[in-house]
Amino acid sequence: ERLFIICYLGPDGEHHWSKHYPFCGGTFQSPIDIQTQLLRFDPTLRPIELQNYNLSANEQLTLGNNGHSIQLSLPRRMYLSSLPHRYTAAQLHFHWGSEHLPVGSEHTVNGRQFAAEMHMVLFNSDKYPNISVAADKSDGLAVLGVLIEVGEFNPAFAQFLKYINGIKYRDQRVQVPAFNIRSLLPVLLDEYYRYDGSLTTPPCYPSVLWTVFKNPVTISLKQFLALATAIYSSHQQESAPVAMNSNYRKPQYTDNRVVLCSFQGGRGLQGATQTVTSPFLRRQVINQLLDGDLADLADQDGLNQLLDGDLQQRSKPNKVQPVWKSGLSEDMLCYVSLEQDVSRQLSRGRSPTHTDTQLVQALRETLFPELNLRSYLGCKSDLALFTIRQLLRGRSATDEALELDQAIVKALGGTGQRGSTAQQQTNTLSKHQTGFAPAPAAVPKKPNQPIPWLQPMEWED
């Protein structure tokens, strides 16, 4: 079996990764362009807290060239304490541009690409024994993204860049004295973007909780050129060395993901002032719609939970189009489009053998099993009207269901005609049939097969 080598251009470039790794052509991929229209302020996001990051110079770290980036191993005693689980550090690596085009960050902000980007990769050590086991789990990985621009000399980066000539070629590695890893990060660790995404290289598992810091760090032009001109992706014995540069993946479709931010307002972020609805409340409302007392939801307090914010504007089915067709709109602040796509599949009745009309079950069949359902159900966004309607249609056509549907229409300023349509939809529940889109193919991954580039570099000579 041919070893798949990560390339960004040519016949094995990023547009062809999905031939070998189907997740690379799937949903919830990274990186993305972090746009103002996608942002929601989440006041519960805490400052990032790294533990045991001030390493002693007596300790040795492994710096290596893995063929598509340079990678620095990190000791397992380093971990993040500001997430629901303990995420233990594994390694950090870099993406950068070229000598002639010094833009190479993977994430962009309102279309702006930075010179480079650093990724610190961590895994959920509360639940998984190592990074190989965690890599394809929905809550397996967390990555800290640091945007890098050319500016002032950075003494922290000099701690390992001065050894870069020892790893000019693929699979070379050197031991470097440890240092304070915190110095590689921005001064402020309380301002960042947060979203659910994927690995940015094959196998592209959508298993990463991304934290991208708002404020970039700087490196000097000389330091940038050390990355862009001194490293090769080929082995030393090869006659035609291949320079390692522009090793970044282009932004992927946002798939209507909400992007949380830990800060409010600021230049270019006027759209990030609306506060998100918590996943707990969202799940509570879904459970209430599925199994609870609908009469309770029809009162004013219940309606306020269902119809939060400007839901009426963002829930019109005829306005929502896939991101690559319609461009940016307010509908992308949550998973409204995704919900409506699945709901349309339900209403088409593509398979008469299916009678379950619950949207949650349709999502289980439509999205990648286990991986993206977590992202959807944990989405910190408002609950779309189309979702509410679909869940109601899964209940018996009782007086309470009709009362709630009519109350929703009235609260949204609907006319009698809209109310009549809603009642007609509810009354035709018994005739409603569902059909599911086929689930994407699973990643062809052998059991316990390690992903070499993810591993900490702890080689022995």
Q: What are 214-273's pLDDT values in tens digits? A: 999 999 999 999 999 999 999 999 989 999 999 999 999 887 677 889 998 754 454 455
Pairing of strands 108-109, 33-34: parallel
Over range 286-303, report the average pLDDT.
78
Q: What is the pLDDT of residues 206-228, one digit of tens each?
A: 899 999 999 999 999 999 999 99
List Cα–Cα distances, 58 to 17, 92, 168, 175, 255, in angstroms: 41, 20, 25, 11, 46
Q: What is the pLDDT of residues 151-179, one digit of tens each?
A: 999 999 999 999 999 999 999 999 999 99
* Arithmetic mean of pLDDT over the chain: 76
Model confidence at 2: pLDDT above 70: no
Q: How confident is the model at residue 419 (pLDDT cuts 50, 70, 90)?
A: very low
Please enumerate in sequence order all residues whose Cβ is within 8 A of that of 451, keeping only pairs 6 or more positions apart, or say none.
131, 132, 135, 203
Residue 40 to residue 274: CA distance in whole angstroms: 6
Q: Which is more confidently placed, 372 or 164? A: 164
Span of 204-208, 355-359, 415-419, 429-433 with lowest mean pLDDT: 429-433
Question: pLDDT at position 132, please?
Answer: 93
Catalytic residue among 68, 95, 107, 119: 68
Please enumerate in sequence order all residues whose Cβ is within 8 A of that of 222, keeping only pairs 6 or more positions apart, or say none.
153
Inter-residue contact 146 to 213 (CB < 8 Å): yes
Q: What's the chain's Rg over C-alpha atoms?
A: 24
Q: Where in the chain is the domain with CATH 3.10.200.10?
A: 14-270
Please enumerate in sequence order all residues whose Cβ is within 8 A of that of 392, keeping only pairs 6 or more positions apart, or say none.
289, 294, 401, 404, 405, 426
Q: Which is more confidently placed, 77 or 356? A: 77
> What does the block give as tokens for 78?
């380093």
Question: pLDDT at position 42, please?
Answer: 85
Q: Could you tell me which residues are beta bridge partners of residue 51? A: 79
Percent of the chain exceeding pLDDT 70 equals 66
> Residues for the chain: how many in total?
461
Per the annotation, the verdict on 235 as an active-site residue is no
SS3 state of residue 415: coil
Inter-residue contact 27 to 255 (CB < 8 Å): yes
Class of domain 14-270: alpha beta
Q: Dihedral sign for Cα 312, 313, 314, 317, please.
A: positive
Give the H/E segment covering residue 374.
Answer: helix 371-377
Task: Pinpoint the alpha helices (H) of 125-248.
Answer: 131-134, 155-161, 221-229
Give the CA diameter of the chain: 79
Q: How confident is the model at residue 386 (pLDDT cuts 50, 70, 90)?
A: low
